[in-house]
Structure 1
């Protein structure tokens, strides 16, 4: 049976970020992930999460200037030094928060930039970061993002990610498989889940279209996919990385059969 983590950057936006930990626990979640913790005090995040009794699952490496369109730098040769500075910050937060997974953001190459140079840079940076993360017991993840939501992003398919992971060849550098991005990019979700399952270190979900609740109004057959994920032997978490249509609690009906949306477990 899947274990679901609330993504606190996208869910529970009715309240300030630090208050979302308690809200997620009250809703019945037992784990949380979020995009970027860097504007918040590490000790305060730890305190809020501990008080809520939640497991910490995942966050992303720094994206750079998000408002200016930056989406990471791991695959950008001209930003190799910047990536390493940013990753050291991410690792510092991960250790302090007892966060076991960091999604390493590849970035958006400049128009005309050589794709092979970007791939070589990505592989080199992932090996370097992987060696830093290894003694801390932290898994690194790379995530293909669809070209509709993230035009120009370097990593755009599970097959491309599989090739990069083969080149990195570190067992704790894995694939972050987002069902929403896969469906928006190519479809064939069940096929790619089966084919790339040995590489998967984390799964996320959202509804298509709209990136809202993945309920019965959406085009993905989630009960089938969750059954397949169980059948494949996945024992990790599924991150709920979606934008609620209205109130977060009002949109949790799709999770009630999994014990979420009915209040905190006793």
Structure 2
């Protein structure tokens, strides 16, 4: 099982110029970024330098203390953490968490705005016996406490959809329909879904049609090969070029962030993913 907390250690070639040269900067119609945790053995400055040469637009999932680093390389942090108190199992679906989360967001969202970070991540939390309907109601109530802060600072809160089948047992926001219900009821341009393609392929499949029908509620994408959350290559089941093209055809203006644990040379894998999704 691969999660942000249990990353497979890989030998990172910090000077992998061959990988970088293999993918010259190409923008295409999607703004692509890469998740920091997948390259945690590489210094952030080195990752940013490589990402800039590969042609990425930013780095995903940084802490506030790291927000300034991508700017030194002409990049931006594309999604940040605004509230460490909110975790994957312990999130917005419990009303007793709302006050502490709100206090954290009143600090974290202005920090993100000041640093030019457009998105911050949020989690539903685990069910722990709570019905999906009650959990959705609670999550809506929590986001209603946060949305004005986000609106006032032009920062988007993205609630991540994760699989509960393989990586995150009991996680509540494990289907698109649940997330869309929440987003619709909150009804804020600054509250969206983080549609993680890896996770939703495991839970639902039917990626392209689901994305097309729900794009107005999606603020951010994550990638990752299925099965295994590894490279976007022929060893897994998603047609990434088709998915990327469908997202671009919808004129999506957010970020398409790579969140897979690379196999083999890490920068070669990243460059390949960028090429595949440059449409």
TM class, shorter-length: 0.7 to 0.9
Q: In structure 1, what is the Cα distance between the partners aligned to 2:262 and 2:199?
A: 17
Quick one: distance in 1 between partners of 2:243 and 2:253?
A: 14
Deviation, 1:139, is 1.2
CA distance in 2, matches of 1:2, 1:207: 18
User: Which residue in the other structure is 2:34 paired with?
Assistant: 6
Give the one of 100, 103, 106 matched to 1:88. Answer: 106
1:182 paired with 2:196, answer no
How many angstroms apart in 2 are the aligned matches of 1:88 and 1:246?
41
In the superposition, the TM-score normalised over structure 1's length comes to 0.84
**Equivalent residue, structure 2, for 1:130:** 147
**Change beyond 3 A, Cα 1:219–1:124:** same
Give the SS at the match of 2:37. coil
2:47 matched residue in structure 1: 20
1:142-193 deviations in Å (ceiling 9; x for gaps) = 1211012111112111111111111111122112211111101110101101
The one of 130, 152, 157 aligned to 2:175: 157
Gaps of 5+ in 2: 1-28
Could you tell me which residue of structure 2 aligns to residue 144 of structure 1? 161
Per the alignment, residue 118 of structure 1 pairs with 135
Residue 71 of structure 2 is aligned to residue 50 of structure 1: yes
CA distance in 2, matches of 1:175, 1:218: 25
Alignment CA distance shift 1:154-1:257 (3 Å): closer
Deviating above 6 A after TM superposition, structure 1's stretches of 4 or more consecutive aligned residues are none
Distance 1:250 1:108, change over 3 A: same
The answer to whether the 8 A contact 2:240-2:276 is kept is: no
**Map of 1:191 onto structure 2:** 209
1:235 CA drift (Å): 2.7
| TM-aligned CA distance change 1:27 to 1:72, over 3 Å | farther
- The aligned counterpart of 1:220 is 238
Question: Is the Cα–Cα contact under 8 Å of residues 175 and 202 in structure 1 kept in the other structure?
Answer: yes
Say whether 1:249 aligns with 2:267.
Answer: yes
2:80 aligned residue: 59
TM-score by length of 2: 0.80
The yes-or-no answer on 1:172 pairing with 2:190 is yes
The question of whether the paired residues in 1 share the 8 Å contact of 2:163 and 2:200 is answered with yes
Q: 1:153 to 1:216 in 2, by over 3 A?
A: same
| C-alpha spacing 1:142/1:3, structure 2 compared with 1 (3 Å) | same
CA shift for structure 1 position 65: 8.2
